[in-house]
Chain A
Amino acid sequence: MSEEQDLIEEDEELDLSTLPDDELVLQMHDDLYDGLKEEIEEGTNILLSRGWSPDKVLSEALVEGMRIVGIDFRDGILFVPEVLLSANSMKGGMGILRPLLAETGAPPLGKAVIGTVKGDIHDIGKNLVGMMWEGAGFEVVDIGINNPVENYLEAIEEHKPDILGMSALLTTTMPYMKVVIDELGNQGIRDDLIVLVGGAPLNEEFGLAIGADAYCRDAAVAVETASSMITQRRESTPAIPQAAA
């Protein structure tokens, strides 16, 4: 009992602003791991106030912290509800950094629109993918379930994402992913987007056959694929000033 109290007191006493930079960053890795959103927001602000560039806060404190979370999720040490809290904390930090990053012209980590296709209401997997993407620092617009092609087009128009993610769990609805991809082609915007698809009844072959850029078998793969494909694209296309976006 008294030990527990000691711990609580220790927690209360921890004043992030008293920590030197290197220790603060390590503490933020722990706080991300423990899903402490307010502490992450506080830490982010402290580092910024000490003159850290938003870019550096992002990569050294947040992205690195979430990388560790990702590893322990993969290895079965962290559970889904815990990762959800971590992702939320990441989202908190990103909320502060995103406008600053935009000002400096640094490319954002990535923006994704994700939704389950028309006729399908399965969303547990899609929600996990969205959560993991947020954890990786992406800005995620979740358009929910049962989406006709118009919903995807509207969301793309409005949010200008790097990635379009589609989920389908029914063999009766997965062909609809092709309807969406074909329509992107008709509208001449297919190549502006990385299209990733997932859902248990799909497989790699199906993903390629319908013209997606990749099939993602689970949420962790969705993160890896999204990150690597965004990097690849940015390397292969010369940076164009994204004034309009």
Chain B
Amino acid sequence: MAERNKRGRSGGGREARQAARSEPVTQGVPYITRKVPVYEVLDEEGLALIENNAETILQEIGVEFRGDVEALQIWKTAGADINSERVRIPRGLCKNLIQDNAPAEFTQHARNPERNVRIGGKNTVLVPAYGSPFVRDLEKGRRYATLEDFQNFVKLAYSTPYLHHSGGTICEPVDLPVNKRHFDMVYTHMRYSDKPFMGSVTAPERAQDTVDMAKVLFGKEFVKKNTVIVSLINANSPLVWDSTMLGALKVYARNNQACVVSPFCIAGAMSPVTVAATAAQLYAEALSGMAFAQLVRPGAPVIFGTFSSSMSMQSGAPTFGTPEPQLVLYIVAALARRLGVPFRSGGGLNSGKIADAQAAYEAANTLQHAMLAGVNFMLHTAGWLEGGLSMGYEKFIMDIDQAGMMHEFMKGVDLSENGLALDAIREVGPGQHYLGCDHTRTNFETAFFRSSVADNNSFEQWEVDGSLDTAQRANKIWHKMLDDYEMPAMDPAVDEALLAFIQQRKESFPDANY
């Protein structure tokens, strides 16, 4: 920060103002707490109908728990009907298991306690996108992601006040061996950020490594008693849980760590083409997964995670930001509230290949609906392109700009004396303007959200500034953010212990690419 001028007036003149106005906002709220009501699209009767159909699906058709003998045994003991790998679950059993055991809200701890997030209830935690094999930026175009890209995105997510979480597989560092890259990914979250993060799920032993690294970072006792990892466990719709995901779920649940139990489906291929049927199937799948987590360890935190997309019936490609999945989102969010568990969905989903208009409006469609629906854990908030195949640097910046706007919107309407500002209306009176009145002078700086990406200047000014489009402006921003990035401090002993753990584990088995 620039030094105050020495002449001593409180305003501080140009120097002070310049310093204050150019200071990047890095420290925001740890998460959003909504003051705006949720929006719903079905009434009691409609929701009850879907719940009833979900119970029918569980009881009559059942769900397959594939390749996991232990899971079948657990279900059998719980009273389900097992036929080969098919598990038929009596009506109400899943719901009871979840309502009797799973927390309605929980805290995920970060290594910096100021960044702890409260997941559930009226809270929303915004999380970067997940899972892309490719990255894209204006300079280098589309390419396979590397560890450097992964680190960059962790730095960017750390640097913005509008994301509360460091995410998980932000992009896949394909330059590292498949069976060891999780060490570097988890370490990057731990070291380059101090926000909470997600764990590895691609094999049970990788999940265990994540838990063991968390024990080094937070201490064994702390991890036993607190949730420090959230992980993404996908169903394989329709109505299947596979052994990889079940394996990871069991590791996390047993360690009291949270799982986002997510049936993600492309309606048309993985669920029927209609909204109500998709909602019922997703709900049944989520019930079976979350109840299973409670059987593995009663009280294990779970997030009811789902998002649906529609399918291009002309090619089979998933489509995003379309209207039907938004209806599903509203219904499933309401079901999660009725059940009493936190809900994950949404994100800046789109099928755009570059950070263009399609990418932006499809993303905006999903982000806004997800916020209104009452999502608690919003994975994929920033960076998503190409249906999740590519992580965009410029798109990341555009999305966090939207995330910033959502922060403001969720504050709702200020009905205080200052908010109502009758005095200002009295002071100014008819026919004058508000630009210089007391009320404006006290409030102008924070009154309106200021986008860092949008250009609101005149055409001529915009032209003088280089006629930059949105992506070009966003490009400058992420470069500056990376240049300005400062690594959060970490106790050197902890860092050494983490690195030693990683080294010892990496040396204990050969590299493999599967």
Question: Residues of A with Cβ closer than 8 Å to B?
Answer: 73, 76, 78-81, 118-119, 121, 124-125, 128, 146, 170-173, 175-176, 178-179, 200-201, 218-219
Contact = CB atoms under 8 A, between A and B. Distances in A.
Interface string B255-272: 000000000001011100
Interface stretch (B78-86, B308-316, B412-420): B308-316
Given A119-B514, A124-B266, A178-B513, A201 B316 contact: no
B513 A176 contact: yes
A226 to B, nearest CB: 18
A124 B314 contact: no
A124 B513 contact: no
A85 B317 CA distance: 19
Size category, B interface: 20 to 34
Majority DSSP secondary structure for residues of A touching B? loop
A219 B202 contact: no
A171 B179 CA distance: 11
Nearest to B244: A119
B236 A121 contact: yes
A124 B266 CA distance: 10
B192 interface: no
B244 A124 contact: no
Interface of B: 133-134, 144, 172, 174, 178, 202, 236, 242, 244, 266, 268-270, 311, 313-316, 387, 389, 513-514
For the complex of A and B, the 3 pairs showing the least CB-CB separation, nearest first, are: A175-B513, A201-B133, A176-B514
A9 to B, nearest CB: 31
Contacts of A73: 314
Contact of A172 (B178, B242, B313, B316): B178
Contacts of A79: 313-314
A172 B202 contact: yes
B316 A171 contact: no
Given A80-B313, A80-B315, A124-B266, 16 more contacts: A76-B315, A78-B314, A80-B314, A80-B316, A118-B514, A119-B514, A171-B172, A172-B172, A172-B178, A176-B514, A178-B513, A179-B513, A200-B389, A201-B133, A201-B134, A219-B316
Nearest to B172: A171
21 contacts: A73-B314, A76-B314, A80-B311, A80-B314, A80-B315, A80-B316, A81-B313, A119-B202, A121-B242, A121-B244, A124-B316, A125-B316, A128-B316, A170-B202, A171-B133, A171-B144, A171-B178, A175-B514, A176-B513, A179-B514, A219-B316
Contacts of B172: 171-172
Contacts of A179: 513-514
A82 to B, nearest CB: 9
Contacts of B514: 118-119, 172-173, 175-176, 179
Contact of B389 (A125, A173, A201, A218): A201
Given A118-B514, A172-B514, A201-B134, A218 B315 contact: yes
A230 B133 CA distance: 32
A173 B514 CA distance: 6
